[in-house]
Amino acid sequence: MKKTFFLTVGLIILIYVGKCTYQTLSISSTIPVIKEYRYNGNVDFLIANFRKYISAHPFITFKVTGVIGDKESGLGYEITINFKRNNHDLTYDIKCEDDKLDDKLITSLKIIAAHDLTNGTGGYGIKADGMTELINNFNSDILIPMQHEQTIKITPL
């Protein structure tokens, strides 16, 4: 009976110490950014431009998959964009968040995952197989045409 009690107390203490260490060291499962862009304007306007552009191009799908933050701390969205290019199914997971630069409201656009579902290439890191080509496809097939049609500027960092 005493052995079970001490074992339970020891396990609880171990879990508590582990949790404190985790929070103190700021260990998290954040995904590194593959490519980052900057847009001069707020995130809602950027999302509206994406929707407008994609509605005119039926081969592209766009979905808001999550909301990040709030109005006070800065709003953001997680989005997924899918399209076909040369019979390859491409998908991109992107974070768009309001930010400030020199007291100006900007939006950061961060690609956190890119996949060529047909070839099985891409992933969550810049060193993944085929990532350079996936980023180039996103730039040439989505960002550059959208900037011309919507008369907006999205700057790569």
How many CA atoms within 13 Å lie on the side-chain side of 66?
8
Residues 156 and 35: beta-carbon distance below 8 Å:
yes
* Strand ranges inside the chain, DSSP E: 35-39, 60-70, 74-85, 88-101, 104-116, 121-123, 154-156
Please tell me the pTM assigned to this model: 0.77
The DSSP string of 3-15 is: HHHHHHHHHHHHH
Residues 92 and 80: beta-carbon distance below 8 Å:
yes
Question: Where does 25-65 have alpha helices with state H?
Answer: 43-55
Tens of pLDDT along the chain (157 residues) come to 667 776 776 667 777 676 655 555 444 456 789 999 999 888 889 999 999 998 999 889 999 998 887 777 777 899 999 998 888 999 999 999 988 777 778 899 999 999 999 999 999 989 999 999 999 999 999 999 999 998 889 989 8
